[in-house]
Structure 1
Amino acid sequence: MSTIRVVWGAASAPTEMASYDAALAEAGVENYNLVSVSSVIPADADVEAVGTAPDLGPAGDRLTVVEARATTAGPGQVSAALSWSQSVEGPGLFYETAGETDQADVERRVREGLRAGQELRKWTFDEPSVAVESQRAESGTHTTALVLAVYGEGEPIC
């Protein structure tokens, strides 16, 4: 397995979908088809927080992701958080949360969720990492905040 990159973005636009697309562009993954998976990190994967994704292949390719995402119609605030920890045995765990709330709240909730997931497994985990993205939404706009764990590189869909 290759690297899992953690990327993030936030943006405002006139519609909900346009704000999501603009947030994906901030994270560098706007030209891919995203396929969401649950939150297990394969044993042979390296996880790197990079902020913005590098070129991961041709436009239209499929990217496998774990996604934390929140969108609101302003005014307000949206925040998204992704936490992760790998085990000494090899595999690891992502946990994601998002909402119309502030950074401190989603960071607290994502850490609690990760701890709960760790307790379900008989692995010895290293210290957790967290990435949080947050943005205020102005009246008359839609705003999306997201954090993604992007598995590897793009794969052709057809």
Structure 2
Amino acid sequence: MKVFGFAGYSGSGKTTLIERLIPLLRARGLRVSLIKHTHHGFDIDKPGKDSFRFREAGATEVLLAGGQRWALMHELRDEPEPTLDDQLARLAAVDLVLVEGFRTTPIPKIEIHRPAAGHPLLHDKFPNIVAIASDTPLDVQLPQLDLNDPGQIAMFILKSVDLA
């Protein structure tokens, strides 16, 4: 599977961009999956539901299955946070896995940057950033992509991972 990532500060537009890219990539006949890393605690379950109760009782994994989808929840408890490679190994085979986050993991990434947000650029701290998508032209040496042109960004990604 080919893997390509996105890095940027919270609120920079990573999720919105990825949401716009997926249909474009799928229209080219590609099967696409996504891994999103979060630094915050999260829970897809709800208190009071059977699955929540099973986890609270101590189950290591709870798998919910239905006619439209299935989801596996794994409690880390005292285990270390899984690496990106650990996560990739759990996915079904697809053509392209998009990754949001995992800034330090050595995969090619586009930095999403909006100067108006007031955050510094990241590319000088993370050598795997291969391009910058911004809503404003920047004075940088890396390729610059128009954040408002997901078609251009999709083609850049496809060429970068030899799927074009």
**Fold similarity call, TM over 0.5:** no
Select the structure that is richer in strand. 1
Select the structure that is richer in helix. 2
TM-score (ref. length: structure 2) = 0.23
Larger radius of gyration: 2
TM-score (ref. length: structure 1) = 0.23
